[in-house]
Amino acid sequence: MAAPGCVSPRTLLPGLLDEPLLLAHDAPAAGGGATGTLRCLSNVCTHRGNLLVHEAAAGVSGIRCGYHARRFDLAGRMTFMPGFEGACSFPTASDHLPEVAFEAWHGHGFARARVAAAQPSPHGPPTLAEVLAPISPRTGLTGIDGWRRDPARDRSFEFEAHWALYVENYLEGLHIPHLHPGLAAAIDMAGYRYELFPWCNLQVARARPGEPAFAPDPRREPQGEAIGAYYFWVWPNLMLNFYPWGLSLNLVLPLAPTRTRVLFRSYVRDPSLTTRGAGGALDPVELEDEAAVLTVQQGLRSRFYDRGRYSPRHERGVHHFHRLVAAAMAAG
């Protein structure tokens, strides 16, 4: 999608929301920059609801509906419609394609298809920069754009449990010594800690002696600790796991009330470290987590279970997540 004249259809949460979206990169405006603008638009014709673009294409100058030939430019503006001669006040703004808020971060696109009326912050919905602001200072993202995507490490897991249970499991380290013997051998749970931010939170895992660790940096860790992993969760369903070897990105996708897909993508900085330390055995850890989440899904159906107390130290992130969920649900 880097070149002007490209369109690419996407579906937001297939099987759940099934919202048809379209990435469209228009040509630069006269006297403007050389790259044009990448936008996220509705992929639904504003006339009768027909899907507009069915597969990615390059070198296009506009969008044409195959149903009644309504046309749009790559900025989403309707430019032509046969059979509407004499229509009153035509076209209006409602005839153009709705544009979805869209921003990029290190090659990844973020679209906000809908924002709840009420937010935990009194200042309204945050920008992407505000949401992700705590990440760069703690993880040293210098050079991240040069980290190599490794498709051989891509994974897709599906299991029969609610997506929020998977997020809850991710957000606490209390289970690590009991559920993940391999991971527990690589990190020092005595130094495991949590930090909360408005729209994300962080778990910091200190490396055991001899295990791979980030180079000491007093701007990140004033105490000079050897850190084996930074686990960032971003509201509501993104996990950015930074290891000395690079980044493992996890995207949690709800498929149904009791079915979830988790996508893993890896961006490698140092291939020699991918099999060592906290990020050295991601597949076994994932399967161990899934097994626990599946049993929790079953347990929640029990007539004898109501709710559990939060661990003051280890479940601050879970409580943070629950507060954001409650605020979103209250907003409707």
Every domain of the chain and the residues it spans: 6-112, 128-331
pLDDT value at residue 259: 95
Which residues 6+ apart lie within 8 Å of 61 measured at CB?
Answer: 5, 27, 73, 74
Residue 196, strand partner residues: 201
**Which tens digits make up the pLDDT trace of 185-234?**
999 999 999 999 999 999 999 999 999 999 887 777 767 789 999 999 99
**Which tens digits make up the pLDDT trace of 154-193?**
999 999 999 999 999 999 999 999 999 999 999 999 999 9
pLDDT value at residue 114: 63
pLDDT value at residue 112: 81
Q: What are the per-10-residue average pLDDT scores of the chain (332 residues)?
A: 85 88 83 74 97 96 97 96 94 95 87 54 72 83 79 96 98 98 96 95 96 84 86 96 95 94 96 96 97 97 94 96 93 73
pLDDT value at residue 120: 47
Are 110 and 128 in contact, with CB atoms under 8 Å apart? yes
In order of 92, 204, 212, 240, the CA distances from 189 in angstroms are: 60, 10, 16, 20
The fold of the 128-331 domain, in CATH, is Naphthalene 1,2-dioxygenase Alpha Subunit; Chain A, domain 1 (3.90.380)
* CATH architecture observed for domain 6-112: 3-layer Sandwich (2.102)
